[in-house]
Amino acid sequence: MAFSKSFPTTKDKYPQWEEIFLSDEEEMHLEQEARNVNNNIMKECIEDAKKIAPGLDITKIAVALFEKRASHSVYYKERKCKDKFDRSKSENKPY
């Protein structure tokens, strides 16, 4: 099932929602990008947790840091949909 996100537009003075879809390739690329970024963030969080609280439960601290820092794959997909939506509006082309 393709990822999609709806954005508001105005046509004839009435708000209308337009749905933007990602292709399977776009979605897979963004999931891989998010995975790579999250892996790097988790490694940094583990190192930071070791520095912040040596001797304490590093795993719990690293996870707490990760939850604050990590960008999940949905964020990347929503951003890509927004980019496609903005591009279609600036070019007056369908998505």
pLDDT tens, residue by residue, 10-26: 777 888 898 989 999 99
Distance between CA atoms of 4 and 21, rounded to whole angstroms? 4
Q: Is 68 a domain residue? A: yes
How many domains would you assign to the chain?
1
Mean pLDDT within 72-86 = 82
Residue 64's nearest CA partner among 32, 42, 95 is 42
Mean pLDDT within 68-95 = 77
Distance between CA atoms of 60 and 53, rounded to whole angstroms? 11
Q: Is 10 a domain residue? A: no
Domain of residue 68, residue span: 40-77
Q: Is 95 a domain residue? A: no
What H or E segment, with its residue span, contains residue 19? Answer: strand 14-21
Q: Is 65 a domain residue? A: yes
pTM of whole model > 0.75?
no
Mean pLDDT within 1-10 = 84
Name which residue leads in pLDDT, 48 or 73: 48
Q: Is 54 a domain residue? A: yes
Q: Is 64 a domain residue? A: yes
Handedness of CA 75, 81, 84, 90 (dihedral sign): negative
Q: Which pLDDT score, from 0 to 100, does residue 24 have? A: 92
Q: Which pLDDT score, from 0 to 100, does residue 25 have? A: 93
Look at residue 34 and tell me whether its pLDDT is greater than 70.
Answer: yes
Which tokens go with 19?
């749905």
